[in-house]
Amino acid sequence: VSDTLVKIGDSVLSGIKTEGMLQPDRDYSRLGFRVTWIEWDSDFRMAGLQIEDLIIEVEGKTLEAFLQPGKLGTAIGQPNESTQWQQAGTKPGQSVQLKVMRGEQTIEITAKLHPDYFYYDSKGRPALGPGGPPRLAHGEQFTEWAMWYERLVWKMSYILDGAWDWRSINNRREMEEHEAHKERVDYLLKMYPGPFADAVKSDWVVVREVLLGKLSDKVDLEYREIGAKRAEIVKQEAARVWTQYQKENVSETVASFPVDVNKRESIVGKLVELPWITIREIVSDLGKSYAVIGSFSDGFYIAPLSNPEIHSFYETMHRYKTQINPRLGERYQYVGRILDEPRMIAFQGRPITGLLIKVVAARAGQEELFVDLGKPDSEGKFEFAGEKAVSQLNTVAPPDNASPAEVVEAMIRAVKFADEKLWKSLFATWQVMVLDNGRAVYNPSYAPSHNVLLSAWEYSRKYITSDVYDARVGRVGPVRKILHKDESKSLPDAEEVHVFVDHYGLFGNEYRVFVNMNVNRRWTLQRLNNGPWRIINVEHL
């Protein structure tokens, strides 16, 4: 590079920007200086240093001395780093070795320091790179290059320095803003070709790639259509099986009303198809539940509900609600075998006499659920009509030894398939708070309120059925021990981990990961005494 285009100053610089990490933060297990930017002309770019690397040693020395309030300024990557290099007698062009942490890995990187460069363009104007563009341009399509570049670097540093995981950004909006620079970057390449323009273009492309979000060929959309489709399949199947059930049993089915307990001989043992009831016809008598079907004029049938068959029916109904339609209406119709048992129970404040029935089949909702209680499967359970026709969903609770990722995956699945109970069970009923001084306080009184949970649940369901097409665990941070067991103080062992969830949205015809205020990317999980991992932050998906 011609001497007229670059002049050398007195300072000694690394060409990197850092932020001092005085407290444990993000997922770093150590304190140090986090790289937030690497200048285009820094040797550290070529040496493989990356933004977000945590510098923990320089030339074999730890940085503890700098990690004090008021002592940060002369550390590597800080505004006055030159002072420190000079005091140490380090010269421009001299190599320095950094020890950095990248995730859980420790890496050594060696690169040369450089002097303070002052660039000029061909007209002798101060420039951003050798040959231009000028810091202050006049009469060109683009002016104010220095201010523009400073802002661009600030934003690119912001984005690349963990914005997805640790800051609140809207990547699509950032993307629009970033795209707006393209014309100027292209102009730069055309008008001021050279290493500076190449570096800017390269940085711009990298940031664009980051802002675009990961691309996915295939997202799990089954749950979206599955709701309506599965409900329809099951409803049709319920109607078909019900008609068939009626046909098969027509010979032993008797008219339901009127019924007289004193004239029951001819109907005992027969089947009766009872009219639909609601929960108003379900009563409790002497500690047991009964469905009362009938009237004072036509007589009553009484179906005991506190028995194993009905419990099985409720289990099946719960499965239906979890897998097919959580809003199944509370309407029921029973088919019962008439027993030779007159029974008197209290109904609407009056004793009524009716004939007991054993429920052998039941329907619920708007006729969309039918269960034949006479046909248990090999495990003694009952299927709802159509259950085999739709694929099984696994919204099962993760085992106690499930990994943090598995717990979050179970949470996502519970949202997708509307299993609120499972979803709730994955949140912690305690919290270990890490204070600003790094100390942890065990807070067993913490329990998410009903309203907070309800709101998070509703928004989760709302987003998974609208903007969020899929959600997957993107990465899992390192597990950190945040509290040590102390039985004398009733303190448990506590560990914490962050799990990062990728939310996929539909952009054009592509499914890409996105982030904005409406989705929660970072999930904090904790566990006590090696117990199950549970989610600490009650957020919507």
Partner 1 sequence: MAEYGARWEEFEKGIREAEERDYQQVIDKTIETLAITTRATTLSKTLSSYMDWRDRALQEGLQILKEESTSITAAGQRDKWSSHFSKLGQEALKTILDSVKDYDKKAPNLRKFGEDVAGQESQFFASLARAPLAWFQGQVQQYTLEFYREMNNLEGKWKALGDQDRSVDDKVRESSKQILSLFQDTVKEFINKERGLEEDARTLVKKVKDAPSGTVPSSVKYPMQVVDWFLERLTALRKSTEEYAQRFQESYRYEDTIVVMFAQTREMVREFMEKTNLETAIREYNDSYKNSLEMANQCPTPRQRDDAKKFVEKGIYEVKRFLDKFNEEYKEFVDSNRGIFVGPVNEKTLEELLEVQERKRTWGELEQFNIQSKLRELHQHCITMFEVELEGLSDEQEKELKEFFKSEVERLGRGIVAASDDTVIDRVKTFFTLSQAALADKVRNSKGGKE
- State the nearest-atom distance from the C-beta of 71 to partner 1, in Å: 15
According to the binding rule CB under 8 A, does residue 529 interact with partner 1? Answer: no
Instruction: For residue 218, report the phi and psi dihedrals to the nearest 5 degrees.
Output: -140, 130
What is the signed CA dihedral for 506, 511, 513, 514, rounded to 10 degrees?
Answer: -20
According to the binding rule CB under 8 A, does residue 350 interact with partner 1? Answer: yes
According to the binding rule CB under 8 A, does residue 342 interact with partner 1? Answer: yes
Strand, helix or coil for residue 329 = coil
Q: Smaller CB distance to partner 1: residue 327 or 489?
A: 489
Instruction: For residue 243, report the phi and psi dihedrals to the nearest 5 degrees.
Output: -60, -45
| Structure-token pair, residue 522 | 């970072």
Q: Smaller CB distance to partner 1: residue 60 or 351?
A: 351
- What one-letter code names the amino acid at 429? T
Q: Smaller CB distance to partner 1: residue 242 or 442?
A: 442
Q: Are 120 and 5 in contact (CB under 8 A)?
A: yes
According to the binding rule CB under 8 A, does residue 437 interact with partner 1? Answer: yes
Instruction: For residue 117, report the phi and psi dihedrals to the nearest 5 degrees.
Output: -95, 140
From 98-106, 193-201, 395-403, 445-453, span contacting partner 1 (CB under 8 A): 445-453
Q: Mask of contacts with partner 1, 446-475, x by CB under 8 A?
A: xx-x--------------------------
According to the binding rule CB under 8 A, does residue 286 interact with partner 1? Answer: yes
Instruction: For residue 471, report the phi and psi dihedrals to the nearest 5 degrees.
Output: -140, 135
How many chain residues bind partner 1 (CB under 8 A)?
33
Under 8 Å CB-to-CB from 537, ≥6 apart: which residues? Answer: 520, 522, 523, 524
Residue among 33, 37, 93 at smallest CA distance from 62:
33
Binds partner 1 (CB under 8 A): choice among 89, 392, 436, 517: 436
Q: Smaller CB distance to partner 1: residue 95 or 284?
A: 284
C-alpha distance across the termini of the chain, in Å: 53
- State the nearest-atom distance from the C-beta of 24 to partner 1, in Å: 16
- State the nearest-atom distance from the C-beta of 68 to partner 1, in Å: 12
Q: Are 140 and 199 in contact (CB under 8 A)?
A: no
Binds partner 1 (CB under 8 A): choice among 109, 169, 233, 261: 261
d(CA 408, CA 414): 10
154-177 burial by CB neighbour count: b if 16+ within 10 A, else e?
A: ebbbbbbbebbbbeebebbebbee
Pairing of strands 331-347, 350-364: antiparallel
Binds partner 1 (CB under 8 A): choice among 7, 173, 288, 311: 288
From 43-51, 149-157, 162-170, 427-435, span contacting partner 1 (CB under 8 A): 427-435
Q: Are 402 and 510 in contact (CB under 8 A)?
A: no
Of residues 490 through 519, those in contact with partner 1 by CB under 8 A are 490-491
d(CA 82, CA 74): 7
Q: Smaller CB distance to partner 1: residue 389 or 441?
A: 441
From 102-110, 345-353, 387-395, 511-519, span contacting partner 1 (CB under 8 A): 345-353
> From the CB of residue 97, how many other CB atoms can be counted at a distance below 10 Å?
13
- DSSP secondary structure code for residue 435 in this structure: P
According to the binding rule CB under 8 A, does residue 25 interact with partner 1? Answer: no
According to the binding rule CB under 8 A, does residue 442 interact with partner 1? Answer: yes
Q: Smaller CB distance to partner 1: residue 105 or 490?
A: 490
Residue among 102, 123, 88 at smallest CA distance from 49:
102
Binds partner 1 (CB under 8 A): choice among 343, 416, 503, 540: 343
From 103-111, 322-330, 361-369, 484-492, span contacting partner 1 (CB under 8 A): 484-492
- State the nearest-atom distance from the C-beta of 40 to partner 1, in Å: 40
Q: Smaller CB distance to partner 1: residue 286 or 517?
A: 286
Q: Are 395 and 419 in contact (CB under 8 A)?
A: yes
Under 8 Å CB-to-CB from 331, ≥6 apart: which residues? Answer: 276, 277, 278, 364, 365, 366
Our CA angle for 295, 328, 334, nearest 5°, is 35
d(CA 105, CA 27): 12
Using H for helix, E for strand and C for coil, what is the string for 407-428? HHHHHHHHHHCCCHHHHHHCEC
Binds partner 1 (CB under 8 A): choice among 445, 508, 509, 517: 445
DSSP 235-251: HHHHHHHHHHHHHHTGG
According to the binding rule CB under 8 A, does residue 296 interact with partner 1? Answer: no
According to the binding rule CB under 8 A, does residue 287 interact with partner 1? Answer: yes
From 124-132, 191-199, 328-336, 444-452, span contacting partner 1 (CB under 8 A): 444-452
From 113-121, 152-160, 195-203, 431-439, span contacting partner 1 (CB under 8 A): 431-439
According to the binding rule CB under 8 A, does residue 327 interact with partner 1? Answer: no
Q: How many CA atoms lie within 13 A of 377 on its CB side?
A: 12
According to the binding rule CB under 8 A, does residue 441 interact with partner 1? Answer: yes
- State the nearest-atom distance from the C-beta of 262 to partner 1, in Å: 5
- State the nearest-atom distance from the C-beta of 484 to partner 1, in Å: 13
According to the binding rule CB under 8 A, does residue 308 interact with partner 1? Answer: no
From 15-23, 190-198, 433-441, 533-541, span contacting partner 1 (CB under 8 A): 433-441
- C-alpha radius of gyration, the chain, whole number: 35
Binds partner 1 (CB under 8 A): choice among 50, 249, 253, 353: 353
Site residues, partner 1 (CB under 8 A): 261-262, 285-288, 341-346, 349-351, 353, 430, 433, 435-437, 439, 441-447, 449, 489-491
